[in-house]
């Protein structure tokens, strides 16, 4: 039986989504360089992760063309079909990859995205990065044409600055379309969107923030602080300054506070961190943690059932203010 959670309306759309969705980069099957960030998960495990997510109240999934060159999209669709889900019963967000491409490629490749996710429609189509060979204006005009052609339902962006987000919003407004979302990195250990204008602009324009890497790649849970030996086997993350000794010490007070609150709320550290993230800014922020095991998915969904007290929300705000 699937849990009932309080759903939110992303942007000014008619969609209703759970505050936490499932990020699906890990379904990439090592299909390209981006896919090699993760080990290959077989279809049975992917199905279990998706099943557990659905049972916990998650009703939407975020994937992308670049995740294994379509392999993540295909694996997600197979899992949903195997679980007897029908089009319209779940919400699918995917992304167009703009690097070394122009806006004309959006229309040229949309049928590939539709085929990869078939029979599930694309509810939210996002420009994955702001670094294409065309302006965000040209890209949004191409996206608007897809909405008019009923190839996609809604438009989002990812990793856009406040300025580019506003420009994208203005362009879509001219076509009578709303910009639904901006997907950005956001966690207790990366709060830069609060100081660079992204969060403020999103609130002003009614745009939802989709937080990726909401657990700072596991760092916010304290597991690396408690067991430094884990740092020896963290793949690409070892090159990040936050996983170097100085970075570990800087984040220790946040991780320690998260762990203490986990005991208080009889929750896990990740659930406390996710609960703060999806509630601190009202309904503006939703999160897409990934999961490579069913247990991870269950832990993610459990965060939607935890409400921290105003005092504890403020405590986490204060202890992590150095990461704004």
Residue 316: both structure tokens together: 């986490």
Question: For the chain, what is the domain count?
Answer: 1
Within-domain flag for 244: no
Q: What is the mean pLDDT of residues 183-206?
A: 98
Is residue 125 part of the annotated active site? The answer reads no
Task: Go through 113-148 and write b for each residue having 16 or more CB atoms within 10 A of its CB, e for each that does not.
Answer: bbebbeebebbbbbbbbbebebbbbbbbbbbbbbbe
Q: What is the mean pLDDT of residues 138-147?
A: 98
The catalytic residue among 37, 67, 186, 265 is 67
Within-domain flag for 89: yes
Within-domain flag for 1: no
What's the pLDDT tens digit per position in 250-281?
999 999 999 999 999 999 999 999 999 999 99
Confidence band, pLDDT 50/70/90 cuts, at residue 221: very high
By C-alpha distance, which of 171, 174, 183 is closest to 207? 183
Within-domain flag for 257: no
What's the pLDDT tens digit per position in 170-183?
999 999 999 999 99
How do strand 208-212 and strand 154-158 relate by DSSP bridges? unpaired
Within-domain flag for 10: no
Percent of the chain with pLDDT over 90: 82
Full domain range(s) for residue 151:
22-217+277-307
CA atoms within 13 A on the CB side of 181: 35
Q: What is the mean pLDDT of residues 206-225?
A: 92
């Amino acid at each position: 039986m699937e849990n009932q959670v309080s759903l939110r309306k992303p942007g000014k759309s008619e969609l209703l989504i759970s505050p936490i969705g499932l990020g699906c980069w890990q379904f990439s099957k090592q299909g390209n360089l981006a896919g090699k960030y993760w080990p290959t998960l077989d279809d049975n495990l992917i199905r279990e992760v998706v099943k557990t997510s659905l049972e916990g109240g998650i009703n939407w999934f975020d994937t992308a063309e670049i995740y294994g060159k379509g392999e993540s999209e295909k694996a997600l669709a197979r899992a949903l079909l195997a679980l007897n889900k029908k089009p319209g019963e779940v919400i699918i967000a995917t992304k167009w990859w703009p690097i070394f491409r122009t806006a004309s490629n959006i229309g040229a490749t949309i049928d590939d995205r539709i085929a990869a996710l078939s029979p599930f429609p694309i509810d939210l189509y996002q420009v994955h990065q702001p670094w294409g060979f065309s302006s965000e204006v040209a890209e949004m005009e191409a996206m608007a044409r897809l909405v008019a052609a009923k190839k996609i339902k809604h438009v989002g962006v990812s990793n856009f600055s406040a300025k580019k987000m506003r420009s994208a919003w203005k362009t879509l407004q001219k076509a009578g379309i709303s910009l639904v979302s901006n997907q950005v990195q956001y966690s207790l250990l990366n709060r830069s969107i609060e100081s660079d204008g992204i969060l403020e602009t999103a609130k002003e324009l009614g745009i939802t923030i989709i937080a990726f890497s909401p657990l700072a790649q596991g760092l916010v849970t304290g597991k690396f602080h408690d067991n430094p030996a884990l740092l020896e086997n963290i793949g690409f993350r070892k090159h990040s300054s936050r996983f170097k000794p100085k970075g570990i010490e800087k984040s220790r007070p946040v991780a320690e506070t998260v762990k203490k609150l986990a005991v208080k709320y009889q929750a896990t550290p990740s659930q406390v961190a996710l609960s703060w993230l999806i509630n601190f800014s009202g309904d503006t922020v939703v999160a897409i943690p990934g999961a490579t095991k069913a247990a991870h998915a269950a832990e993610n969904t459990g965060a939607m059932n935890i409400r921290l007290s105003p005092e504890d929300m403020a405590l986490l705000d204060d202890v992590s203010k150095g990461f704004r």
